[in-house]
A and B are shown apart, each in its own frame.
Chain A
Amino acid sequence: MPTAEERKRLLRGVIPRARRLGVDDTLRGWSWSAPPLLSPYEVPLGLSEVAGAYCETGRDVYARRVLGIEAEPNEKMLLGGALHGTLRDWVVHAKRSLYACGVGRIEEAVERIRTFPAPELPEAKTLVQYETDAIEFRIREAMSQFPRIGTDALVAQVLPVTLGQMLDGAFLGLSRRLSTDLLNLGEPVVLDIIFDDEKRDFHPLTLAGYALVLEAVYEFPVDVGLTVYANFRDGRLRMEREFTILGDEVRMEFIEARDEKQRMVADAMDPGSCEGCEAWCGR
């Protein structure tokens, strides 16, 4: 959840600015049946394959899709997967506890949330501890601010997230089984949680891709995305949140990346390996 300052920045700065800038209608997901969104190739890639540029030349996609080589996941990918899994389980547990006890037995609900089994992984343990403390604060804040709040409204107020929303990316020539996280702050905000990594120029492409797919499937505008960078240092969780206006430029960049990578796979063009391959790269 964003801090009070971030929420203010979002509601008073980012969202109004996004509305003012607008998006060209040809770059809204619902225009999927016409160029430039119309996919020119029958190569349904995963969204992370299109948006990810950890491998600069995109040879990872070529290796997987053309050569049929599935690279072993590296340490970072394994850690990220485990933390995402823990967070997903914790959110379900917290929502279930709140619904089971209801606003009438809120102290019991808080206690119940604390019974989430401590994960073995130290980073996951830190993450669960942080989220548990944070939700307790948010519950108490909401209960004092809205004394007559109902159970369902309380859950929406304190945990306004949907983790792992399934989407059919076929409209944009992508995989039919995409999964994204969403933050529901009055209007849907695409959420991308990145564990143990620095900011990269291409991270906003993931947000743009999911916004386009959401617009194609549900036909409502998605103008803002949020990337959460969660890093662990000395047993402490450090979080940085970056809001992105999903304007024309980042959408065009996503579509260009999609076309380029699909062309590479369809025509089996080896892009060559990249020079500055990162040390943790699993290939």
Chain B
Amino acid sequence: MNLPDLTVTDVRQHVYCPRIPYYRYTLPLERPVTAKMDLGREEHESTSAKESRRTLKAYGIKEGERRFGVDLYSRHLRLRGKLDMVIFTRYELIPVEYKMTSGVGLHHKYQLAAYAMLAEHTFSCTVSRSFVYLTPEKRAVEVPITAAMRERVRRVLRELRRAVWNERLPAPTPHRGRCTGCEYRRFCGDVLAGGA
């Protein structure tokens, strides 16, 4: 089987529940779209439009150039992604992701680490921090990018490729509450949603 390039979304979803990207790559299905996903897309588009009119005060930065919807690709990592916003200052490059949540989860953290690695490969620079912009709270949360996070992303990519290549169903997330709104819920017959 010829494995396709992976996406940053795969990294996020693998950390959230390793079965989601596995199903996407191994089941010949149209990906079902849930109401939550539709709502997220609409909110995303409106945030991008508003963001272009704002200053960088929320990020504690005085001056910098913003680019929106930046396509990133690394041949080395065989990974691609589209970043919501990149801030270019005189000294650094800072990835920013908008999220329609009230807190930063681990899956968001590793998504940003993956974007940071892609940005480093694309722009030949080092990224030491990133931001999650929480749209409901209109607040930016800084997420430092560490060597351990980069290693974790590499590990996720390896695990995901191995699972897809061997067609071996990964263990589900231990957070059963996440199964409730999952678009692939009906495929996980071995999981009882709602309990621990």
Using a CB–CB cutoff of 8 Å, the interface residues on chain A facing chain B are 20-21, 24, 26-27, 34-36, 38, 40, 245, 247-250, 252, 259
Residues of A within 8 A of B67 (CB): none
CB of B138 within 8 Å of the partner chain: no
The answer to whether A249 touches B149, judged by C-beta atoms less than 8 angstroms apart, is: yes
Q: Is the CB of B106 within 8 A of A247?
A: no
* Inter-subunit contact B146/A34 (CB<8 Å): no
Contact A40 B144 (CB under 8 A): no
Pick the residue among A26, A40, A249 that contacts B152 (CB under 8 A).
A249
Q: Which residues of B contact A34 (CB under 8 A)?
A: 196
Query: Contact at A21–B174, with CB atoms within 8 Å?
Result: no
A-chain residues with CB within 8 Å of residue B146 when the two chains form the complex: 21, 247
Cα distance, A181 to B176, chains bound together (Å): 36
> How far, in Å, is A263 (CB) from chain B's closest CB?
8
Partner of A35, one of B149, B151, B175: B175
Which B residues lie within 8 Å of A249 (CB)? Answer: 148-149, 151-152
Interface membership of B12, Cβ < 8 A? no
Docked Cα-Cα span, A248 to B174, in Å, equals 16
Other-chain residue from B109, B171, B175, B196 in contact with A248 (beta carbon distance below 8 A): B109
Are A35 and B174 in contact, CB atoms less than 8 angstroms apart?
yes
Contact indicator A248/B106 (Cβ below 8 Å)? yes
Q: Write the nearest CB–CB distance from B195 to chain A, whole angstroms.
A: 10
Query: Of B105, B144, B175, which is within 8 A of A20 by CB?
Result: B144
Q: How many residues of B are in contact with the other chain, CB < 8 A? A: 15
A35, B196: Cα distance in complex, Å: 7
Kindly state the separation between the CA atoms of A35 and B191 in the bound complex, as whole angstroms. 14
Q: Which 9 A-B pairs have the closest CB atoms?
A: A35-B174, A249-B148, A36-B174, A249-B152, A35-B175, A24-B106, A21-B144, A247-B148, A38-B196
Residue of B nearest to A34 (CB): B196
Least Cβ–Cβ distance between A218 and chain B, in angstroms: 24
- Supply 26 A–B pairs (Cβ within 8 Å), ascending by A: A21-B144, A21-B146, A24-B105, A24-B109, A26-B106, A27-B106, A34-B196, A35-B173, A35-B174, A35-B175, A35-B176, A35-B196, A36-B174, A36-B175, A38-B174, A38-B196, A40-B174, A247-B146, A248-B106, A248-B109, A248-B148, A249-B149, A249-B151, A252-B106, A252-B152, A259-B171
Complex-state Cα separation, A35 to B176, whole angstroms? 8
Residues of A within 8 A of B176 (CB): 35
Per the bound structure, the CA–CA distance linking A28 and B16 in Å amounts to 18
Q: Who on chain B is nearest to A37 by CB? A: B174
How far apart are A23's CB and chain B's nearest CB, in angstroms?
10
Find residues 132-153 in chain B having any chain A CB closer than 8 Å to their own CB: 144, 146, 148-149, 151-152
Further 15 A-B residue pairs, CB within 8 A, beyond A20-B144, A35-B176: A21-B144, A21-B146, A24-B105, A24-B109, A27-B106, A35-B173, A35-B175, A35-B196, A36-B175, A38-B174, A248-B106, A248-B109, A249-B151, A250-B148, A259-B171
Q: Give every chain B residue within 8 A of A27 (Cβ-Cβ).
A: 106
Complex CA gap A38/B177 in Å reads 14
Contact with A along B163-187 (1 / 0, CB 8 A): 0000000010111100000000000
Contacts of A21 on B, CB cut-off 8 Å? 144, 146
Residue among A35, A247, A249, A250 with most chain B CB within 10 A: A249
Q: Which residue of B lies closest to A39 (CB)?
A: B174
Q: How far is the CB of B189 from chain A (nearest CB, A)?
A: 18
Least CB distance, A159 to chain B, in whole angstroms: 32
- How distant is B180 from chain A, measured CB to nearest CB, in Å? 14
Q: How far is the CA of A121 from the CA of B152 in the complex (A)?
A: 42
Contacts of A247 in B (CB 8 A): 146, 148
In the assembled complex, how far is the CB of residue B171 from the closest CB belonging to chain A, in whole angstroms? 8
Report the separation of the CA atoms of residues A34 and B196 in the bound assembly, to the nearest whole angstrom.
7
B142 and chain A: residue at smallest CB distance: A20
Q: How far is the CB of A211 from chain B (nearest CB, A)?
A: 15
Chain B residues near A259: list those with CB within 8 A: 171, 174
Q: Least Cβ distance of A281 to chain B in Å? A: 26
**Within 8 Å CB of B149, what residues of A?**
249
Give the CA-CA distance A20 to B142 in the complex, in Å. 10
Distance A247 CA – B171 CA, assembled complex (angstroms): 23
Q: How far is the CB of A205 from chain B (nearest CB, A)?
A: 13
**Closest residue of A by beta carbon distance from B104:** A24
CB distance from A271 to the nearest CB of B (A): 15
State which residues 103-144 of B face A: CB under 8 Å: 105-106, 109, 144
Question: How far, in Å, is A269 (CB) from chain B's closest CB?
Answer: 13
